A and B are shown apart, each in its own frame.
Chain A
């Protein structure tokens, strides 16, 4: 049986390096003492680039913690495995982490359908899952489970930030294109409602299946709609394809493109095609607060580049988890859960409050514009507006807003 229970080599290695980083491997008495964080993360396939960003943020955080005094005097050990974005793998791997490696804390699950598959199992596993990027509004709404927490910005919150910005803009008529995916529909509903509330006109929306390669019929529809602004709820390859083709059609010359999330991965991929895009941002390296300045400086020293959106968002989730563990003085799921509720943390995005009613982190929202700056290889998002947490966060268990 001993071979069966052996710790996989990667886990062992990561804990050894963690210990080594902490100074000769002597400071931690036993590897078994480590706080294990399970990360069933998508590293290969279409969402691999987002998962890789999130993993890097977690590794950076673990390294920082282990380089100081650890967490509760214990080192952090990351248990990282690739799910290839398939929920069947995610559930199996998460369960293995819980049952074989004794993991009680999970994070870094990339796709919403993976998160939705894992969430109902958390009570049975007696484990806490802290989302690092999952945007689906339902995770803190109808699908909420007691052991799920979302310190990151949700999809509806990103949309709300853009909508608030639009209230002050002269644009009157809007159209939308979203991924034919739960997230796309959710966010588009929020956007439509917000536009109508602002007394403006929502002309309609169209949804493209994931994996769409030719956006010309959609671009035609957007042009014909007569809208002044077009709202995009697209991600990954679909987003890159749309932006590239929209640029080839010069769509942005007549219609302002707006998006729920501006991520640097997309900007770097499509280059100039992203210039002029205005959208919500979950995190920007340019945010002006002491925690972020320290984070950006340390990150640049480590990796020689600025942290990107998913990195900042996942990092904040790690910090929130860290604060909860410190407050609980334990990694016991029940204790961490009660410590997490009403927890207030000042992190890279400023103040985050984990409200007890639906486990959503209340936090500020940002709107950015993608611009070209001399001396920079890629266009960069710059913050054009910031909205306080009470205007961005939806009412408890809801995906829409009242005012």
Chain B
């Protein structure tokens, strides 16, 4: 707990000590961290391996982009409304996907995400088709609040959302509901026989995961100023899943670190060589071979010793 407080303080102080672009990079890393953490609720705690989490990210981003472009809604409201919309869509997706278990569940989530991808290419009025939405503004407000428009202000908005979401997830996984989720992860038939409606619990956790994933997508759209079909692409779903695994599934904090590691590594490697993919891939293969519990596991082991 103490480490956590220190980390939060360090993150809060970061923009004061970092060069401007580092803050921008960190903002993006935290947004992806939020996305990876939201997926961890499904993957790490419930063993629902979603292969279509880009759907949540893309939905949040498009919803937020449209709200900011077409309405006068202030930035924070647009972001939270987009997260809620994504969560509601998540209930529908969850209802269908939880009909299946195991690998079939993964494949259904993939099918949904790809369907959204195909729709995004066609529904020009809402998604801007192949071009996407560009020039998404960071609207002032509420009450004339302009702080969120600046680089540092936006960073604190993202950090606030991440910390809030983490606190929420932490309470959630330690609650009785969290215990049921772990029961589903370890042995679903047994959990059913104890009298729990596991399907309902799964739908709830998928919807919550979608909502938080949508929140991160909604934060991305005004951050980058655009939203397009790449955010919904299946490859991105795979990457988010890998961020969770690299970080350490079932730890909430691990995936945040994994996401930051994944993004920064790619970003830095591609500065030095055109063959960044080669080294990126080799690092992954090395990682899984030598650090099976992810970055968080490595970290924990160190601390214990």
Contact = CB atoms under 8 A, between A and B. Distances in A.
Q: Touching in the complex, A and B, CB below 8 A?
A: yes
How many chain A residues sit at the interface, stated as a range, is: 35 or more
Contacts of B21: 95-96, 99-100
B297 to A, nearest CB: 28
Interface residues of B, number: 30
Contacts of A117: 132, 134, 224-226, 228
A43 B271 CA distance: 12
Contact of A210 (B22, B28, B130): B130
Contacts of B274: 43-44, 82
A373 interface: no
Contacts of B273: 10
B191 interface: no
Contact of B134 (A9, A82, A116, A180): A116
Interface string A282-326: 000000000000000000000000000000000000000000000
A117 B22 CA distance: 21
Interface string A87-99: 1110111011001
B130 A81 contact: no
B124 to A, nearest CB: 9
B277 A91 contact: no
Nearest to B231: A88
A82 B274 CA distance: 7
A86 interface: yes
Contacts of B112: none
Nearest to B21: A99
A113 B120 CA distance: 14
B143 interface: no
Contacts of B121: 180, 209
B102 interface: no
Contacts, number: 88
A120 interface: yes
A91 B21 CA distance: 12
Contacts of B132: 87, 113, 116-117
Interface string A156-179: 000000000000000000000000
Interface in B77-98: none
A182 interface: yes
A98 to B, nearest CB: 8
Nearest to B131: A182
Given A4-B22, A100-B21, A88 B134 contact: no
B277 to A, nearest CB: 6
A182 B229 CA distance: 13
A119 interface: yes
Interface of A: 1, 4-5, 8-10, 43-44, 81-82, 84, 86-89, 91-93, 95-96, 99-100, 112-113, 116-117, 119-121, 136, 138, 143, 180-183, 209-210
Lowest 3 A-B CB distances belong to which pairs? A120-B135, A99-B21, A117-B226
